[in-house]
Amino acid sequence: MATGTTPAACIADFCLIPMGIGSPSVTPYIAEVQKLLEQCEGITFTMHSFGTTVEGSWDAVTKAIGRAHESMHENGVPRVHSSIRIGTRTDKPQTAQDKVDSVRKYLAESEGKSESSAK
């Protein structure tokens, strides 16, 4: 049953695309978003080649993404498009790095098993 509250924690990955800027390069715009995210409270974030992963409460994360959109408009971008994926988990706390570490651990253990069975 819905309680009307938002999740206490989430991980979001978003790719913000400024449109109508007259250039194929979005570097200066994305740099501004990174500066803005540094000022947002209650989140951690990691930029990668195709976007940014943001962690925090649902409210803090979605507010940060909204502020990124508004910042683009304030800087003269007439249209902003974002692709957003958000995941939540209630069975245990988990960071984006935890997820990466889990796969790396599995791969390392799998390689060890395949090497020992090849002998």
Two structure tokens written together for 96:
């984006």
Query: For the domain that residue 63 is a member of, what is the CATH number?
Result: 3.30.70.930
Instruction: Judge if 21 and 66 occupy the same domain.
Output: yes
Query: Has residue 2 been placed in a domain?
Result: no
Q: What is the pTM of this model?
A: 0.85
- For residues 66 and 23, is the Cβ–Cβ distance under 8 A? no
Instruction: Judge if 73 and 38 occupy the same domain.
Output: yes
Q: Based on the structure, what is the number of domains in the chain?
A: 2
Domain with 117, as residue range(s), is 91-119
- For residues 57 and 8, is the Cβ–Cβ distance under 8 A? yes
Taking the CA atoms of residue 32, residue 33, residue 34 and residue 36 in that order, the dihedral angle to the nearest 10 degrees is: 90
Instruction: Judge if 61 and 117 occupy the same domain.
Output: no
pLDDT tens, residue order, the chain (119 aa): 677 899 999 999 999 999 999 999 999 999 999 999 999 999 999 999 999 999 999 999 999 999 999 999 999 999 999 999 999 999 999 999 999 999 999 999 998 776 666 55
